[in-house]
Amino acid sequence: MKRYFEHIRNTKAPHERRLHAMQISGVITAALFVVWAGTLGLRLATPADEQGADGSQTAAAAAAQAQNGPQLQVSTTSVYNQ
């Protein structure tokens, strides 16, 4: 890989190297988007349990809203000793 980078550095002009880097990053981004979009249907079709798919409070609130309609979810991290 180092040899390839050295070859590109010695044979290509800076604007050509930038163009090549943009093309490679575009291809990688497009591939990641295709994978994300391809798995989106699976993630949306999976029913959420009560804790939510990832166990977070946000997921639990979203699941409750989907089942029961809009409602207020309040959370606190403060501990009060009396």
Question: Does residue 66 form part of some domain?
Answer: no
Position 43 scores a pLDDT of 75
Give the chain's domain count.
1
Let me know if residue 67 belongs to a domain: no
Tell me the per-residue pLDDT of 7-61, one tens digit each, with 9 for 90 and over: 888 999 999 999 999 999 999 999 999 999 998 877 777 665 544 455 566 667 6
Say how many CA atoms lie within 13 Å of 49 toward its Cβ: 5
Contact criterion met (CB below 8 Å) for 52 and 63: yes
23 domain-assigned: yes
Please indicate, yes or no, if residue 45 is contained in any of the structural domains.
Answer: yes
Task: Examine residue 11 and state whether it is found in any structural domain, yes or no.
Answer: yes
Position 75 in a domain: no
Q: Is residue 10 in some structural domain?
A: yes
Q: Rounded to the nearest 10 degrees, what angle do helices 14-45 and 2-11 cross at?
A: 130
pLDDT score, position 28 = 97
Q: Quick check: 12 and 20 in contact, CB under 8 A?
A: yes
In a domain, 77, yes or no: no
pTM score above 0.85: no
Residue appearing with tokens 């050295």: 6
